Structure 1
């Protein structure tokens, strides 16, 4: 019987998703935009964000946006890494604009690693499969679609759209950074709505939490380098570049940065207490009272999500050593990817890594060096519409402020004084549904539910009136 129940549930999800995609004309139009975006390869190695930006620009102009309200850009030295900015002017210049931010680029995807072509949108078993189906082409498509749907309205508040390239690759040209540095007039806004929030499905398959990101970590890479004179492998010695590097990596593995809190993470952990279980809930309460409580930290940090939300983290992600299989290595390197807690500086983490690595290993901070993440206190005026609209679309599901353990392009906007919020509405499952991995997917039902929620949320901020 259990098998039949699982099969029936799967059929129900598939039917709901298919009906959702086909019943409403506006959903069919959105699916065309979303499909085109997913099927446009925007990887750094072989794709083109510029092409994707031009496709969206064409759709906006077809919807009635004048040419001066839509700008595509691609610096000459990065012709495939372009983006788009669009503006729907409001009637009240006293109201600061809201900026809808997304990124067009995606993580690399090798066809040989995937069960399906990563750049063909496939609907199967109640899911859409494809690279970027969630990160971040779902929200980018929704933002572009929202601008199209708002076009017949006259908002009181100006609504802006910025879809850029380079978010997924630290060393690539970053369109968001370029806009904030060279064209801040284009993206000037009172606040930004971005990725990084969302929510999650519980084990029962129903939404159990909506998350709004209030603040985030900053990503920074460091390089460990061990050097040695080398020699013949037939005469090994303990003075080996790989050994020195391995000792440094082990020291970093054993190190835990101290627990820290922002107003947002305090609110998040307080909200987690009731559902965390007796032991973990009690430990969270102790840790909130005393961030130095090592015993409480050990219990709470068993959960990798909790641990990442409590502190700066550093982890090796790339290793390279040696020149030949029969020679002692003359050089060994490791990339250490760190996620810096708001307020933490690149220089302070560099000093910590140098201390841990020891004198035999050099440590350098890799370029580019991003701005320090800014702690952001939740603004009730921004959060209230998120909660109110959620009551209609996700009745009974709590909206919880959280800090993202990852990093987004929001850090560039916060650096110039524009607060950034990762919106709720796009729900994810356990295991992150292949985001940054193989066979990335999103529930069909989640995509359309998120689209409806986010459109109503932007309308709530824009306060539109019919022409």
Structure 2
């Protein structure tokens, strides 16, 4: 799930209204080949409820082998308990066997989409008004298709990179309790996906309302997503005889304490660079407040101003929020149990266990806190490596002249965290520009501008060559 946006606006409704129909884009021959791959991938349902990542992976494997990849260079994987949640790893050998590989990572699964809620069939790719509409048209099948297309083009051109290029397409990123292909690979097949760097989702670009390119972002680090359960219990009894001890009230008190608490501000190398660049381009009280926080993270007045922006607020600290509630067993009975799910996004370097300890302290002794499975690895701060940022900026200057590229820590979470856990740095690469309303990602009528898709394809192809050459 990619996160590169400021506050959502009412413009999200633009994705629901029918757009004026424009003539279909005229594609060059190489773009037509890419479009065929992209269309097939998008129209292959890969939701957890009804789809098959295994089918999508097999279709891409067929295309890779048709381009010249040997059977030994394409590995399809799944497990018996999850036959439809498979993926693939493909390898283009490099000339320098000592150089660590570049791994291209994307996920094949998509968020659920109900036909009755959408204006258009979510699993039919439709071009309309300068956009491609479909579930997964952005997240993450745009990147999956670009990576697979790049591997095919490399092979067809006879390109031999200095560094081996690997492709991993996995399933399970979008659903917490699903079997996760990225985690499976890092735990059971670390040699297959061994690399010096992972290029992943999470970066991107932002367009203004007119479609002008405003900013590019390289995701350098991300938070760890973790869920916790608060449980209050009580013997209960007849509701006609209430007593002070009440599971619902005790849970409510705990939730109020958590709601009122702000985790302390932390800066990583990435977020410090991000806010420094932001302050330079932000006039008035907001810019002044950001500069004050950079100098003194404990400045409460400055924090209040900066944290009024929900994206800035989440970028500054660990955040925890109640997302689910369940309580009671009958209308005329005192509750015997009340539970709440607390969803936290844990700042890089902070642990799941330490966050749990703080939540338990806030909740008090009458409420029990448990850490929900699966337990995510500790998010590791990713270095602002000039060997990564330099080529990204150089290639951007060629493709998107004048558009600034800034480092960004994602407040969301991707499968990159599993690769970081085994010591491989992960970067969410830029190139795919989206609108300020987030293009319906995870919501209704997901879409991507046709121009953005093909511009991103060209940029990412050249960026991979810059890293691998």
Task: Note whether the superposition's TM-score is higher than 0.5.
Answer: yes
Match of 1:239 among 221, 229, 245: 245
Partner Cα distance (1:235, 1:133) in 2: 57
Counterpart Cα distance in 2 of 1:441 and 1:248: 40
Q: CA 1:11–1:275 in structure 2 vs 1: closer, same or farther (change >3 Å)? A: farther
Q: Is the 8 A contact 2:20 2:128 kept in 1?
A: no
For the pair 1:286 / 2:292, whether they are aligned, the reply is yes
- Counterpart position of 1:83: 87
Q: How many residues align?
A: 451
Deviation digits for residues 42-86 of structure 1, max 9, x if unmatched?
A: 111221111111111111111111111001000111111111000
Corresponding residue of 1:453: 459
The equivalent position to 1:70 in structure 2, one of 63, 71, 74, is 74
- 1: distance between equivalents of 2:445 and 2:342? 26
Find 1:253's aligned residue among 241, 244, 259. Answer: 259
1:256 match: secondary structure: coil
Q: CA deviation at 1:39?
A: 1.3
Greater shift in the superposed pair: 278-287 or 321-330:
321-330
2: CA distance, partners of 1:174 / 1:93: 30
Task: Classify the secondary structure of the residue corresponding to 1:456.
Answer: helix
Task: State the TM-score, normalized to the length of structure 1.
Answer: 0.93
Pair 1:379 & 2:385 matched: yes
User: Of residues 97, 112, 123 in structure 1, which corresponds to 2:101?
Assistant: 97
CA distance in 1, matches of 2:164, 2:385: 20
Q: Which residue of 1 aligns with 2:182?
A: 176
**Structure 2: how far apart are the matches of 1:439 and 1:329?**
41
Q: How many angstroms apart in 2 are the aligned matches of 1:378 and 1:385?
A: 13
Aligned equivalent of 1:52: 56
Q: Distance in 2 between matches of 1:387 and 1:194?
A: 17
Superposition pairs of residues 422-437 of structure 1, within 5 angstroms: 422-437=428-443
User: How many Å apart are 1:12 and its aligned residue?
Assistant: 11
Change (3 A) 1:323 1:69: same
Q: Distance in 1 between matches of 2:408 and 2:371?
A: 28
Residue 394 of structure 1: aligned partner:
400
- The worse-fitting range, judged by mean Cα deviation, of 179-188 and 235-244 is 235-244
Aligned to 2:173: 167
**Which ranges of structure 2 fall in alignment gaps of 5 or more residues?**
1-13
Residue 146 (structure 2) aligns with:
142
Structure (1 or 2) with the greater helix fraction: 1
1:14 CA displacement = 5.1
Moved more, 115-124 or 333-342: 115-124
Aligned to 2:130: 126
TM-score, normalization: structure 2? 0.93
Residue deviations 1:186-240 (CA, integer Å, cap 9, x gap): 1111101000111211344311110001111111110111122233444445533
Distance, in Å, in 2 between the alignment partners of 1:253 and 1:403 is: 24
Task: After superposing the two structures, state which structure 1 stretch, 287-296 or 354-363, moved more.
Answer: 354-363
CA contact (8 A) 2:54 2:86 kept: yes
Task: Determine if contact 1:270/1:285 at 8 Å carries over to the other structure.
Answer: yes
**Gaps in structure 1 of 5+ consecutive residues:** 1-5
Q: How does 1:137-216 map to 2 (within 5 A)?
A: 137-151=141-155, 152=157, 153-216=159-222
CA distance in structure 1 between the partners assigned to 2:119 and 2:283 by the alignment: 38
| Cα distance change, pair 239–54 in 1 and its aligned pair in 2 (3 A) | same
Map of 2:411 onto structure 1: 405
C-alpha contact 1:129 1:441 (8 A) present in aligned 2: yes
